[in-house]
Structure 1
Amino acid sequence: MQIQGTTALITGGASGLGNATARALLAAGAEVFLLDLPGESGEKAAAELGERAHFVGADVTDEEAVALAVQQAAAGGTLRIVVNCAGVATPGKLVGREGPLTASAFMRVININLLGTVNVMAQAAAAMQAIEPVGEERGVIINTASVAAFDGQIGQIAYSASKGAVAALTLPAARELARSQVRVMTIAPGIFETPMMAGLPQAAQDSLGQQVPHPARLGKATEYAQLVQAIIENPMLNGETIRLDGAIRMAPK
Structure 2
Amino acid sequence: MELTEGMAAVVTGGASGLGKASAIALAQAGLKVAIFDLNREAGEAHAREIGGTFHHVDITDEDSVVAGFEAARAAHGQERVTVHCAMASRRGKTLGWDKASGGYKRLPTEDYAFGAEGILVSSYRIASLSALGMANAEPLNEDGERGCITLTASVAAQDGQIGQVIYGSCKAGVNGLVLPMARDLMDMGIRVNSVMPGIFATPLMLGMKDRNPQMWDQLNASVPFPKRLGHPEEFASLILEIARNSYLNAHQFRLDGAIRMPPR
**How big is the shift at 1:41?**
2.2
Structure 2 match to 1:196 = 204
**How big is the shift at 1:115?**
1.1
Please tell me whether residue 173 in structure 1 is matched to residue 177 in structure 2: no
Gaps of 5+ in 2: 99-104
Q: Specify the code of the residue in structure 2 equivalent to 1:48.
A: E
1:158 is aligned, of 166, 190, 214, to: 166
Over the residues paired in the alignment, what is the CA RMSD in angstroms? 1.2
Deviates further, 36-45 or 213-222: 36-45
In 1: Cα distance, 2:231 partner to 2:90 partner = 21
C-alpha distance 195-90 of structure 1, shift in aligned 2 (>3 A): farther
For 1:72-83, list aligned pairs within 5 A.
72-75=71-74, 76-83=76-83
Structure 1 match to 2:101 = none
**How big is the shift at 1:225?**
0.1
- Is the contact between residue 205 and residue 218 of structure 1 (CA under 8 Å) also seen in structure 2? no
In 2: Cα distance, 1:39 partner to 1:107 partner = 26
**How big is the shift at 1:42?**
1.7
In 2: Cα distance, 1:17 partner to 1:203 partner = 24
1:182 is aligned, of 190, 196, 209, to: 190
- Is the contact between residue 178 and residue 194 of structure 2 (CA under 8 Å) also seen in structure 1? yes
In 1: Cα distance, 2:215 partner to 2:117 partner = 29
Please tell me whether residue 2 in structure 1 is matched to residue 2 in structure 2: yes
Structure 2 match to 1:95 = 95
Structure 2 match to 1:19 = 20
- Is the contact between residue 7 and residue 81 of structure 1 (CA under 8 Å) also seen in structure 2? yes
**How big is the shift at 1:89?**
5.4
In 2: Cα distance, 1:112 partner to 1:22 partner = 21
In 2: Cα distance, 1:134 partner to 1:40 partner = 35
- Identity among equivalent pairs (%): 42
For 1:12-161, list aligned pairs within 5 A.
12-37=13-38, 39-49=40-50, 52-75=51-74, 76-88=76-88, 90-98=90-98, 99-135=105-141, 136=143, 137-161=145-169
- Is the contact between residue 187 and residue 242 of structure 1 (CA under 8 Å) also seen in structure 2? yes
**How big is the shift at 1:202?**
3.0
Give SS of 2:35's match.
strand
Aligned residues, how many?
Answer: 251
In 2: Cα distance, 1:146 partner to 1:88 partner = 14
Give SS of 2:199's match.
coil
Hey, which bits of structure 1, 4+ residues long, moved more than 6 A?
Answer: none
**How big is the shift at 1:83?**
0.2
2:259 is aligned, of 240, 248, 251, to: 248
In 2: Cα distance, 1:184 partner to 1:204 partner = 36
Give SS of 2:54's match.
strand
- Is the contact between residue 198 and residue 257 of structure 2 (CA under 8 Å) also seen in structure 1? yes
Give SS of 2:240's match.
helix
TM-score of the pair, normalised by structure 2: 0.92
Q: Specify the code of the residue in structure 2 equivalent to 1:133.
A: P
In 2: Cα distance, 1:38 partner to 1:224 partner = 21
CA deviations over 1:184-215 (Å, ceiling 9, x no partner): 01000011111221232233222112111111
Please tell me whether residue 211 in structure 1 is matched to residue 212 in structure 2: no
- Is the contact between residue 131 and residue 138 of structure 1 (CA under 8 Å) also seen in structure 2? yes
Give SS of 1:191's match.
coil
**How big is the shift at 1:18?**
0.2
**How big is the shift at 1:88?**
3.7
Q: Specify the code of the residue in structure 2 equivalent to 1:93.
A: K
